[in-house]
Structure 1
Amino acid sequence: MEILRQRREHWHGPLTACAAAMAVLAAVSVIGLAVDDRTLLGQAVWLKPVKFAVSFGLYAITLAWMVGLAGRFRRALWWLGTVVVGGFVVPEISAIVFQAARGVRSHYNVSTPLDETVFMVMGGAAYLGWALTFALGVLLVAQRRVDRPMAWAIPLGLAVSLAGMSVGYLMTAPTPDQAQALTDGMSLDVIGAHSVGAPDGGAAMPVTGWETGAGDLRVAHFVGLHALQVLPLVAIGLRLLSRRFTALAGAATRTALVVVAAFGYAGLTGLVLWQAQRGQSLLQPDALTLTAAAALAGLVATATALVLAVARPSGRHVTAAAGSGR
C-alpha cells in the first residue's frame, strides 16, 4: 500500500475534487430514488445519475492517483486532467442530471431541439473524454516507475478502458429499423440503442438495469471501462501477496501475471461484447458463449500456472532462506 500513501499529496487536485463531488451527487441521487417515484423505460429516473456519478467518481479518483505517480510531464498531465473534469465529466453528468430532473431520456433522445442539443453535448464530451484519456495514457506510459508490475498495469488498464469507452459509440449508431426509417424520410424521437435484438426498456436486472431478454452493449462498456481500476488493483494485490508467497517475490513474475490478467480482462470484455451483439442476455448464455468463456478461463489459468511454474524468488528472499538454514 506504500504506492498509495507515499504520493497522496501529489494526487491531481481538480480530479480529486471531482471525485468528491461525484460522491455527493451519488448520495443526492439516492435520495432522489427514495422520494421521486417517476420511472423511465421501467427504471427509476434517478438510477442513471447514481450509476454515472459512481462510475465518473471512480474514473476521476483513479486518474488523480495515476497523475500523482508521475515524475515527468507533470504540468501537461495536470492540464489534461483539468480539461477532463471541465470538458468531459462535468458536461456529461450535468446533461444526465438535467434530463433525469425533466423525466426524459438523456441518451439517444432527439425528440425535440433541446433534447437533441443535450445529446449532442454528451456525444461531444464523450469523444473529448476518449481523446483526453488516450493522451493521459501516452504521457503516463512515458513515466519511470520503480514498481515494474504497476508500470505495466497502468497503461494496459488504460488501453482496455479506452476499448470499453469505444463500445459507447456502437450504441449511438442507428439500429437497422431506425436506419430504414431514416432512409424512408421518417422523423424519429430516438436514434441509437443499448439493446440488441429487442427495443430498449425490456425486463432488466436490478441496480445495473442491463437487459435480461436481449443483448445489452452496456455490459461490455462497463466491464472494459473499469479495467482502469481492476488492473492496478491486481498489481497492488500481487505486491501484498508477495510478502506471504515466495513465488510472487520477483517483480518479473508479478509483471507477467499482470499481463496475463490484462489479456484475460480484455478477453472478457470482448466476450461480453460478442455475446451482446448476438442479441443474447448476459444471464442467458448459449452453448457457444459458455464454450468461449471456458476456453478463455482455461487460457488464463494455463498462462498463470506457467508463470508460477518458472517463478524464481528474488535475491532478498533467497538470502533470507539461506540464512535461516544455517
Structure 2
Amino acid sequence: MKNETLFYYGLICLVAGVFCLILSKINPNPILGISGWIKPFKFCISTAIMAWTMGYYMQFLSNQNQVSIYNWSLIILLSTEIILIIFQASRGKISHFNQEDATGVMIFSTMALAVTIFMLHTAYIAILFFTQEKFAASEILIFAIQLSLIITVVFAFEGFAMGSLMKHTVGAEDGNAGLPIVNWNKSYGDLRVAHFFGMHALQLIPIASVLIAKNKRDVIIIALVYFAFVTFTLVQAFMAKPFIKL
C-alpha cells in the first residue's frame, strides 16, 4: 500500500486489538455481561481495517495534499475514540451512552464529536472521488468506491439513532445475551447490526464489484442490494427483532 502513514497506523491498531483480546482472557473485567476488553478489541480491529481501506483507495486521488490531511484526521480522531474506550474499559465502565457521572458524559460526548468530524471529513473525501475526472484504476473499482463511500457515510450517521435512545437495544435495555464477539442481541432489536454492515460497505461492495461486476450497471445492482439488506437490518432492529435469534 502506498499510504505508509495509514498502513503503519493500521498495524498499531491491530497490535492494540490483539492486546485487548489477550486482556479479555487474563482479566475479563465484565461490563454488561461481557468482558470489557472486547469492545476496544472490536474498535481497534475495525479502525485498522478502515485505515488500510482508505489508505488503499486514496492512492487514486490526484489531490494528495488532501489525502495527507485526511490521514492525520483519521489518526487523531479515531485514536481519540479508541483511547477513551480503552480508558473506560480499564475502569469497568461503559463508554458509549454513559450518563453515570460528569466524566462518563464528557467521554461519550467527546467520542461522538470526534466520530462526527471524522465522518464529515470522509464525506469530503467521497466528494473528491466524485469530482475527479480521471483515475489510474478501473471504472468498475472507482464507481464501487464512490457508491460504497455514500452508504458508509449514511450508516455511520445511523449512530445518531442510538445516541437519541442512549442505547443500542430496541425492546429491552442493553446487556442481554448476545452473539459471540459482535455481541449483537439474540432476543431483541440491535441497532449495531445496521451500523456494522453499513460501515463495512466500504470494503464489501468494491470487493464484490471487482469479483463479479462486468459494468457500472452491475455495480449499481450490487450497491442497491447491499443497501436494501442493511436497511432491512435497521428496520428489523427498530421492530425489536434480533438479527439472528438463537
Aligned mates of 1:31, 1:153 — CA distance in 2: 36
> SS of the counterpart of 1:211?
coil
Q: 1:83 aligns with which of 44, 57, 73?
A: 73
Matches of 2:74 and 2:130 in 1, distance apart? 18
TM-score by length of 1: 0.72
Residue 235 (str. 1) matches residue 209 (str. 2): yes
* Residue matched to 2:64: 74
Are 2:240 and 1:266 equivalent residues in the alignment?
no
**1:219 maps to 2:210:** no
**Equivalent residue for 2:15, pick from 24, 36, 54:** 24
Which residue number in structure 2 is paired with residue 156 of structure 1?
147
TM-superposed CA distance for 1:284, in Å, is 4.0
- 1:143-199, CA deviations, whole angstroms, 9 ceiling, x for partnerless residues? 32241101210010101111220111111113xxxxxxxxxxxxxxxxx00000111
Letter in 2 for 1:89: L
Distance in 2 of aligned mates of 1:80 and 1:30: 29
Q: Is the 8 A contact 1:19 1:56 kept in 2?
A: yes
The one-letter amino acid paired with 2:167 is A
Contact conserved, 1:215 with 1:278, CA < 8 A, in 2? Answer: yes
Out of 276-285 and 14-23, give the one that drifted further: 276-285
1:268 Cα offset (Å): 0.7
Distance in structure 2 (CA, Å) of the matches to 1:83 and 1:130: 10
Contact 1:30 1:50 in 2 (8 A): yes
Does structure 1 retain, via aligned residues, the 8 Å contact 2:209–2:222?
A: no
Identity %: 27
Match runs of 1:193-208 below 5 Å: 193-208=167-182
Secondary structure of the equivalent of 2:215?
helix
SS at match of 1:173: helix
Provide the rounded CA distance (Å) in 1 between the counterparts of 2:215 and 2:207. 12
Q: 1:1-326 alignment to 2 at 5 Å?
A: 8=1, 10-11=2-3, 13-70=4-61, 72-86=62-76, 88-143=77-132, 144-145=134-135, 146-174=137-165, 192-238=166-212, 253-284=214-245
Q: Secondary structure at the match of 1:206?
A: coil
After TM superposition, the runs of 4+ consecutive aligned structure 1 residues lying more than 6 A away are none
Partner Cα separation in structure 2 for residue 74 and residue 15 of structure 1: 13
Gaps in structure 1 of 5+ consecutive residues: 1-7, 175-191, 239-247, 286-326
Shift of 1:37: 2.6
Cα pair distance change 1:213/1:129, threshold 3 Å:
same
Moved more, 198-207 or 276-285: 276-285
Q: Which amino acid aligns with 1:281?
A: P
Query: For 1:216 and 1:164, how far apart are their aligned partners in 2?
Result: 14
How many angstroms apart in 2 are the aligned matches of 1:21 and 1:139? Answer: 28
SS of the residue aligned with 2:157?
helix
**Letter of the structure 2 residue corresponding to residue 270 of structure 1:** T
What amino acid is aligned across from residue 150 of structure 2 in structure 1?
Answer: A
Residue in 2 aligned with 1:312?
Answer: none
Shift of 1:130: 1.3
Q: Which amino acid aligns with 1:283?
A: I
Equivalences, count: 244
1:36-61 deviation digits (Å, cap 9, x = unpaired): 13211111111001111111111111
Rounded to whole Å, the distance in 1 between the matches of 2:28 and 2:138 is: 49
